[in-house]
Amino acid sequence: MLGGLVVLALLAYWFGWLMPVVKVSFLFFALLTLIDTIILFVKPLGVTAIRHLPERLSNGDVNTIHLDVSNGYAFTVAVEVFDEIPTQFQDRSFSLKIQLKAGEARHLTYTLRPVKRGEYHFGVVNVLAQSPLRLACRKTQQERPQMVPVYPSFIQMRKYELLAISNRLVDSGIKRIRRIGNNREFEQIKHYVAGDDFRTVNWKATARRADLMVNSYQEERSQQVYMIIDKGRPMQMPFEGMTLLDYAINASLAMANIAMKKSDKAGLITFQDKVNTLLPASRINNQLMHLMEALYNQKTSFREPDFSALYSVVRRKVTQRSL
Protein backbone atom coordinates (compact mmCIF):
# COMPACT_ATOMS: atom_id res chain seq x y z
CA MET A 1 0.00 0.00 0.00
CA LEU A 2 2.75 2.46 0.91
CA GLY A 3 4.58 1.71 -2.35
CA GLY A 4 1.46 2.62 -4.34
CA LEU A 5 1.18 5.93 -2.53
CA VAL A 6 4.82 6.75 -3.32
CA VAL A 7 4.24 6.04 -7.03
CA LEU A 8 1.11 8.19 -6.95
CA ALA A 9 3.06 11.06 -5.37
CA LEU A 10 5.70 10.87 -8.09
CA LEU A 11 3.04 11.00 -10.78
CA ALA A 12 1.48 14.04 -9.09
CA TYR A 13 4.78 15.88 -9.66
CA TRP A 14 4.01 15.87 -13.40
CA PHE A 15 0.21 15.74 -13.20
CA GLY A 16 -0.87 18.39 -10.76
CA TRP A 17 -4.50 17.31 -10.73
CA LEU A 18 -3.44 14.12 -8.87
CA MET A 19 -2.16 16.07 -5.86
CA PRO A 20 -5.55 16.23 -4.02
CA VAL A 21 -5.93 12.48 -4.54
CA VAL A 22 -2.45 11.93 -3.09
CA LYS A 23 -3.24 14.03 -0.01
CA VAL A 24 -6.53 12.22 0.66
CA SER A 25 -4.81 8.85 0.15
CA PHE A 26 -2.02 9.71 2.58
CA LEU A 27 -4.55 10.90 5.18
CA PHE A 28 -6.54 7.68 4.75
CA PHE A 29 -3.35 5.61 5.08
CA ALA A 30 -2.33 7.49 8.24
CA LEU A 31 -5.79 6.93 9.73
CA LEU A 32 -5.66 3.18 9.00
CA THR A 33 -2.18 2.97 10.53
CA LEU A 34 -3.37 4.79 13.65
CA ILE A 35 -6.35 2.46 14.03
CA ASP A 36 -4.14 -0.58 13.46
CA THR A 37 -1.69 0.65 16.09
CA ILE A 38 -4.43 1.38 18.66
CA ILE A 39 -6.01 -2.08 18.39
CA LEU A 40 -2.56 -3.66 18.80
CA PHE A 41 -1.65 -1.69 21.92
CA VAL A 42 -5.09 -1.49 23.56
CA LYS A 43 -4.29 -4.60 25.61
CA PRO A 44 -1.36 -4.66 28.07
CA LEU A 45 -0.18 -7.98 26.57
CA GLY A 46 -2.00 -9.19 23.48
CA VAL A 47 0.11 -12.23 22.64
CA THR A 48 1.71 -14.23 25.44
CA ALA A 49 4.55 -16.74 25.18
CA ILE A 50 5.58 -19.13 27.96
CA ARG A 51 8.82 -21.09 27.61
CA HIS A 52 9.23 -24.46 29.32
CA LEU A 53 12.84 -25.49 29.89
CA PRO A 54 14.01 -28.79 31.41
CA GLU A 55 16.05 -28.73 34.61
CA ARG A 56 19.08 -29.86 32.60
CA LEU A 57 20.00 -30.64 29.00
CA SER A 58 21.63 -33.87 27.82
CA ASN A 59 25.02 -33.46 26.17
CA GLY A 60 25.31 -34.80 22.62
CA ASP A 61 21.56 -35.50 22.36
CA VAL A 62 18.61 -33.75 20.75
CA ASN A 63 16.75 -31.87 23.52
CA THR A 64 13.23 -30.48 23.03
CA ILE A 65 12.25 -26.96 24.15
CA HIS A 66 8.54 -26.14 24.52
CA LEU A 67 6.73 -22.84 23.95
CA ASP A 68 3.06 -22.07 24.66
CA VAL A 69 1.85 -19.09 22.60
CA SER A 70 -1.67 -17.67 22.95
CA ASN A 71 -3.55 -14.84 21.23
CA GLY A 72 -5.55 -12.59 23.53
CA TYR A 73 -6.83 -10.35 20.71
CA ALA A 74 -10.29 -10.59 19.15
CA PHE A 75 -8.76 -10.90 15.68
CA THR A 76 -6.19 -12.97 13.82
CA VAL A 77 -2.55 -11.94 14.20
CA ALA A 78 0.68 -12.97 12.52
CA VAL A 79 3.17 -13.86 15.23
CA GLU A 80 6.93 -14.32 15.07
CA VAL A 81 8.66 -15.64 18.18
CA PHE A 82 12.38 -14.97 18.67
CA ASP A 83 13.77 -17.10 21.50
CA GLU A 84 17.22 -15.95 22.59
CA ILE A 85 18.94 -19.33 22.66
CA PRO A 86 22.38 -19.72 24.34
CA THR A 87 25.40 -18.24 22.58
CA GLN A 88 27.04 -21.68 22.36
CA PHE A 89 24.72 -22.50 19.43
CA GLN A 90 25.88 -19.45 17.43
CA ASP A 91 22.41 -18.73 16.02
CA ARG A 92 21.09 -15.20 16.43
CA SER A 93 18.38 -15.45 13.75
CA PHE A 94 16.35 -18.27 15.25
CA SER A 95 12.58 -17.62 15.07
CA LEU A 96 9.20 -19.36 14.76
CA LYS A 97 6.42 -17.92 12.58
CA ILE A 98 2.73 -18.76 13.05
CA GLN A 99 -0.77 -17.39 12.45
CA LEU A 100 -3.04 -17.27 15.50
CA LYS A 101 -6.81 -16.86 15.28
CA ALA A 102 -8.73 -14.89 17.88
CA GLY A 103 -8.30 -16.51 21.29
CA GLU A 104 -6.23 -19.39 19.86
CA ALA A 105 -3.40 -21.03 21.78
CA ARG A 106 -0.64 -23.04 20.12
CA HIS A 107 2.03 -25.37 21.51
CA LEU A 108 5.38 -24.99 19.72
CA THR A 109 8.55 -27.02 20.01
CA TYR A 110 12.09 -26.78 18.73
CA THR A 111 15.22 -28.82 19.35
CA LEU A 112 18.76 -28.07 20.45
CA ARG A 113 21.80 -30.37 20.46
CA PRO A 114 24.52 -29.18 22.85
CA VAL A 115 27.99 -30.63 22.33
CA LYS A 116 29.73 -29.31 25.42
CA ARG A 117 29.04 -29.57 29.15
CA GLY A 118 28.51 -26.42 31.20
CA GLU A 119 26.07 -23.59 31.83
CA TYR A 120 23.83 -22.50 28.96
CA HIS A 121 22.05 -19.15 29.33
CA PHE A 122 18.71 -18.52 27.62
CA GLY A 123 17.69 -14.89 27.15
CA VAL A 124 14.21 -13.39 26.93
CA VAL A 125 11.50 -14.47 24.49
CA ASN A 126 10.77 -11.71 21.96
CA VAL A 127 7.26 -11.78 20.50
CA LEU A 128 6.45 -9.80 17.32
CA ALA A 129 2.71 -9.43 16.60
CA GLN A 130 1.32 -7.87 13.43
CA SER A 131 -2.17 -6.43 13.05
CA PRO A 132 -4.71 -7.72 10.50
CA LEU A 133 -3.75 -5.01 7.97
CA ARG A 134 -0.02 -5.55 8.63
CA LEU A 135 0.40 -1.78 8.96
CA ALA A 136 1.63 -1.88 12.55
CA CYS A 137 3.77 -4.26 14.55
CA ARG A 138 4.14 -4.70 18.30
CA LYS A 139 7.20 -6.20 19.99
CA THR A 140 7.14 -7.49 23.55
CA GLN A 141 9.80 -9.17 25.65
CA GLN A 142 8.59 -12.06 27.79
CA GLU A 143 10.12 -14.68 30.09
CA ARG A 144 13.15 -13.97 32.25
CA PRO A 145 16.66 -15.08 31.29
CA GLN A 146 17.31 -18.60 32.54
CA MET A 147 20.39 -20.78 33.02
CA VAL A 148 20.19 -24.49 32.21
CA PRO A 149 23.19 -26.79 32.84
CA VAL A 150 24.20 -29.33 30.19
CA TYR A 151 24.98 -32.65 31.91
CA PRO A 152 26.53 -35.84 30.55
CA SER A 153 24.11 -37.76 28.34
CA PHE A 154 21.37 -39.00 30.68
CA ILE A 155 19.21 -39.74 27.62
CA GLN A 156 21.72 -42.35 26.43
CA MET A 157 22.00 -43.59 30.01
CA ARG A 158 18.25 -44.30 30.16
CA LYS A 159 18.30 -45.91 26.71
CA TYR A 160 20.97 -48.45 27.67
CA GLU A 161 19.35 -48.98 31.07
CA LEU A 162 16.15 -50.14 29.35
CA LEU A 163 18.12 -52.37 26.99
CA ALA A 164 20.02 -53.89 29.91
CA ILE A 165 16.85 -54.57 31.89
CA SER A 166 15.25 -56.29 28.88
CA ASN A 167 18.52 -58.11 28.02
CA ARG A 168 18.59 -56.49 24.57
CA LEU A 169 22.06 -54.93 24.70
CA VAL A 170 23.13 -57.24 21.85
CA ASP A 171 20.64 -55.39 19.59
CA SER A 172 22.76 -52.25 19.98
CA GLY A 173 25.98 -53.98 18.89
CA ILE A 174 27.24 -54.88 22.38
CA LYS A 175 28.69 -58.37 22.13
CA ARG A 176 28.81 -61.11 24.73
CA ILE A 177 32.29 -62.47 25.49
CA ARG A 178 33.23 -65.72 27.18
CA ARG A 179 34.51 -65.16 30.71
CA ILE A 180 37.74 -66.85 31.67
CA GLY A 181 37.69 -68.35 35.14
CA ASN A 182 34.90 -69.14 37.58
CA ASN A 183 33.79 -65.83 39.09
CA ARG A 184 30.52 -67.20 40.44
CA GLU A 185 28.99 -67.50 43.87
CA PHE A 186 26.83 -70.26 45.36
CA GLU A 187 23.05 -69.73 45.13
CA GLN A 188 21.26 -73.01 46.05
CA ILE A 189 21.18 -76.83 45.85
CA LYS A 190 18.63 -78.13 43.35
CA HIS A 191 17.60 -81.35 41.61
CA TYR A 192 19.59 -82.28 38.56
CA VAL A 193 17.93 -81.61 35.20
CA ALA A 194 19.18 -82.50 31.75
CA GLY A 195 21.88 -80.08 30.68
CA ASP A 196 23.30 -79.30 34.13
CA ASP A 197 27.09 -79.50 34.41
CA PHE A 198 28.17 -82.78 36.04
CA ARG A 199 31.02 -80.91 37.70
CA THR A 200 28.46 -79.17 39.94
CA VAL A 201 27.05 -82.41 41.40
CA ASN A 202 26.79 -82.18 45.19
CA TRP A 203 27.60 -85.75 46.30
CA LYS A 204 26.76 -85.24 49.98
CA ALA A 205 23.30 -83.86 49.17
CA THR A 206 22.82 -86.64 46.61
CA ALA A 207 23.60 -89.28 49.27
CA ARG A 208 21.18 -87.71 51.75
CA ARG A 209 18.30 -87.35 49.26
CA ALA A 210 18.99 -90.53 47.26
CA ASP A 211 18.53 -88.35 44.21
CA LEU A 212 21.03 -86.54 42.02
CA MET A 213 21.51 -82.99 43.36
CA VAL A 214 23.63 -80.21 41.92
CA ASN A 215 24.91 -76.87 43.17
CA SER A 216 23.41 -73.83 41.47
CA TYR A 217 25.58 -70.76 41.02
CA GLN A 218 24.94 -67.18 40.00
CA GLU A 219 27.25 -64.53 38.66
CA GLU A 220 29.17 -62.85 41.42
CA ARG A 221 27.46 -59.66 42.50
CA SER A 222 28.50 -56.52 44.37
CA GLN A 223 31.73 -56.31 42.42
CA GLN A 224 33.53 -52.98 42.31
CA VAL A 225 33.49 -51.47 38.82
CA TYR A 226 35.58 -48.34 38.19
CA MET A 227 35.24 -46.07 35.15
CA ILE A 228 38.73 -44.71 34.40
CA ILE A 229 38.79 -41.66 32.11
CA ASP A 230 41.94 -40.39 30.45
CA LYS A 231 41.70 -36.58 30.22
CA GLY A 232 45.01 -36.24 28.39
CA ARG A 233 45.87 -34.45 25.15
CA PRO A 234 44.50 -37.09 22.70
CA MET A 235 41.02 -36.75 24.24
CA GLN A 236 40.75 -33.21 22.87
CA MET A 237 40.19 -34.54 19.35
CA PRO A 238 36.70 -33.62 18.05
CA PHE A 239 34.23 -35.99 16.42
CA GLU A 240 30.84 -34.77 15.16
CA GLY A 241 31.14 -31.62 17.24
CA MET A 242 32.06 -33.31 20.55
CA THR A 243 35.45 -34.07 22.02
CA LEU A 244 36.49 -37.66 22.68
CA LEU A 245 36.53 -36.71 26.37
CA ASP A 246 32.81 -35.95 26.33
CA TYR A 247 32.09 -39.22 24.54
CA ALA A 248 34.07 -41.03 27.26
CA ILE A 249 32.15 -39.18 29.98
CA ASN A 250 28.79 -40.10 28.40
CA ALA A 251 29.81 -43.75 28.05
CA SER A 252 31.07 -43.86 31.66
CA LEU A 253 27.73 -42.61 33.00
CA ALA A 254 25.80 -45.22 30.99
CA MET A 255 28.08 -48.08 32.09
CA ALA A 256 28.06 -47.01 35.74
CA ASN A 257 24.27 -46.93 35.76
CA ILE A 258 24.03 -50.44 34.23
CA ALA A 259 26.58 -51.78 36.72
CA MET A 260 24.49 -50.52 39.64
CA LYS A 261 21.28 -51.87 38.11
CA LYS A 262 23.03 -55.27 37.97
CA SER A 263 23.79 -55.02 41.74
CA ASP A 264 27.42 -54.02 41.32
CA LYS A 265 29.21 -51.01 42.81
CA ALA A 266 30.31 -48.18 40.51
CA GLY A 267 33.12 -45.70 41.02
CA LEU A 268 35.07 -43.13 39.01
CA ILE A 269 38.73 -42.26 38.44
CA THR A 270 39.90 -39.46 36.12
CA PHE A 271 43.49 -38.48 35.39
CA GLN A 272 45.86 -36.64 33.08
CA ASP A 273 49.33 -35.70 34.38
CA LYS A 274 47.97 -36.70 37.82
CA VAL A 275 44.83 -38.28 39.23
CA ASN A 276 42.15 -35.57 39.50
CA THR A 277 39.08 -37.48 40.71
CA LEU A 278 38.67 -40.67 42.73
CA LEU A 279 35.09 -41.47 43.70
CA PRO A 280 35.02 -44.77 45.62
CA ALA A 281 32.78 -47.50 44.17
CA SER A 282 29.44 -47.78 45.93
CA ARG A 283 25.78 -48.70 45.49
CA ILE A 284 24.26 -46.16 47.89
CA ASN A 285 21.02 -44.51 46.75
CA ASN A 286 22.56 -41.24 45.61
CA GLN A 287 25.73 -42.74 44.09
CA LEU A 288 24.47 -42.15 40.55
CA MET A 289 23.90 -38.47 41.36
CA HIS A 290 27.43 -38.23 42.81
CA LEU A 291 28.79 -39.78 39.60
CA MET A 292 26.78 -37.43 37.40
CA GLU A 293 27.94 -34.36 39.34
CA ALA A 294 31.56 -35.53 39.24
CA LEU A 295 31.38 -36.15 35.49
CA TYR A 296 29.63 -32.81 34.89
CA ASN A 297 32.39 -30.91 36.70
CA GLN A 298 35.27 -32.56 34.85
CA LYS A 299 37.69 -29.98 33.46
CA THR A 300 41.04 -30.58 31.84
CA SER A 301 43.99 -28.78 30.33
CA PHE A 302 44.61 -31.79 28.03
CA ARG A 303 48.12 -32.44 29.32
CA GLU A 304 50.12 -35.57 28.54
CA PRO A 305 48.64 -38.48 30.57
CA ASP A 306 50.83 -40.05 33.28
CA PHE A 307 49.89 -43.74 33.57
CA SER A 308 52.50 -44.38 36.26
CA ALA A 309 50.76 -41.85 38.52
CA LEU A 310 47.45 -43.57 37.80
CA TYR A 311 48.90 -46.99 38.70
CA SER A 312 50.38 -45.66 41.94
CA VAL A 313 47.06 -44.14 43.12
CA VAL A 314 44.95 -47.16 42.09
CA ARG A 315 47.31 -49.58 43.86
CA ARG A 316 47.20 -47.48 47.02
CA LYS A 317 43.52 -46.49 47.10
CA VAL A 318 41.67 -49.43 45.47
CA THR A 319 42.30 -52.22 47.95
CA GLN A 320 39.61 -54.71 46.86
CA ARG A 321 39.44 -56.74 43.68
CA SER A 322 37.82 -54.48 41.09
CA LEU A 323 37.06 -54.25 37.42
Confidence check: pLDDT of 78 > 70:
yes
Where residue 131 falls among pLDDT bands split at 50, 70, 90? confident
E-assigned strand segments in 101-173:
105-112, 118-122, 125-130, 137-142, 146-151
Helix axes 244-261, 154-165, angle to 10 degrees: 40
CATH architecture, domain 47-151: Sandwich (2.60)
* 89-99 pLDDT, tens digit each: 988 778 899 99
Q: What is the structure's pLDDT at 14?
A: 63
Q: What is the structure's pLDDT at 179?
A: 47
Where residue 112 falls among pLDDT bands split at 50, 70, 90? very high
Topology classification of domain 224-317? Rossmann fold (3.40.50)
Confidence check: pLDDT of 114 > 70:
yes
The alpha carbons of the chain give a radius of gyration, in whole angstroms, of 33
Provide the residue ranges of all domains of the chain, joining segments of one domain with +.
2-41, 47-151, 184-219, 224-317
Q: What is the structure's pLDDT at 180?
A: 43
Where residue 247 falls among pLDDT bands split at 50, 70, 90? very high
Confidence check: pLDDT of 230 > 80:
yes
